[in-house]
A and B are shown apart, each in its own frame.
Chain A
Amino acid sequence: MRLDIRRGIQLLTGRDPEAGRKIADLDAGEQAASAASQPAAPQPAAPPAPSSALRPATLVPAAADADAEDWRDLLVRLLSTAPEDVAQKLVGCLDREVITKALERRNDPYLKVALMLITKK
């Protein structure tokens, strides 16, 4: 895996009118957690949960706008945001190769393992 420095710089310096609204508030959750833990025994810092499900919904990558034309992104977004029964029906209609292709778009270790499981014979 290589880092794409040019793409990173473009993203950092690019204008994203929505970006200001994507700042998640750590305050409310933390104050509640802090208040709850005041009388309690010493607690270690909560470990990070390596799950995309826990990512704030508002933190949509700005670069997604640029990639939005790609059918694989649109398909994955459709399947992940559609009601479960609709998504299940759609997945049932799609060829497995199509879904595999869509998943191959992302260079992510978790997806790689999922792909290995899907394509396992």
Chain B
Amino acid sequence: MIIFVTSLDGGVGKTTLAAAMAYHAAVNKRQPVLLIDADWEKAELSQLFRAEYAPGWLSPFLRGEEPAVFKVRDGLYLVPGYDAAEAYQLYDFQISELERALEAWVEGLPAFAASRGLPPAAIIDTTPTLRLSFLTRLKEKGVRIVFVADARAIGRVSDIKAEQYASYFKLADAVVVNNTSFFARDAAPYTIRRVSTPKDLHWEAVAKAIIRNRHNRRTVEALLHKVFPAP
């Protein structure tokens, strides 16, 4: 089971949602999960987890190096993405190359996880605006797509943007609308209510702050039930 957390715009809460889903699955539901930071623009998931610099998901394709896997908690593992973000800035990659590498992870993950004693289920945090053709290919390989949008952004989109959103919505297995207000929280199937930012910007504090809210907890549970059902 592989879940891609993706979006059209940046800064809508993909990384936060990926961390909250992984936390709830691994810590509260005892469903082991491997998190992969495949946001080649920023690698924010690795930073949120304060993982030290180490070869990440792109290293097998970049240098033929084994990627680092960090054990965060029992049943929760992380493959960092620093080197992909670094390489994205340094080299003139074609997007199709990065897509192919990510697709190779989807294909190779069962064997990778089995030979290293890792969970077969993965939540992959991605870069915004992955191409529809790429996401379609992933869907055909059985990947579940969680599309994240921000209520403040989708409230004022142009017609063109609305069409783009519609295309991504159509492809997604679940659409999560982030940052909804109290009154708008039921406007979409999965909504995450705004919560105050924890003082400590650390993955666990952030995930707990999200889950502590009863509505958000229900949302994350329903979302996991939909895209990541217990075996």
Contact = CB atoms under 8 A, between A and B. Distances in A.
Interface residues of A, number: 54
Interface of B: 43, 46-55, 58-66, 68-73, 77-78, 82, 86-87, 90-93, 97-98, 100-101, 104-105, 107-109, 111-112, 115-118, 199-202, 204
Contacts of B48: 45
Interface string A34-51: 100110111111111111
A83 interface: no
A contact patch SS = loop
Contacts, number: 164
A19 to B, nearest CB: 5
B contact patch SS = mixed
Contacts of A3: 58, 61-62, 93, 97-98, 100-101
Given A25-B70, A38-B200, A43-B200, 4 more contacts: A19-B66, A24-B70, A34-B202, A106-B63
B108 A9 contact: yes
A62 B111 CA distance: 15
Contacts of B202: 30, 33-34, 37, 45
Contacts of B78: 26
Contacts of A12: 60, 104-105, 108-109, 111-112
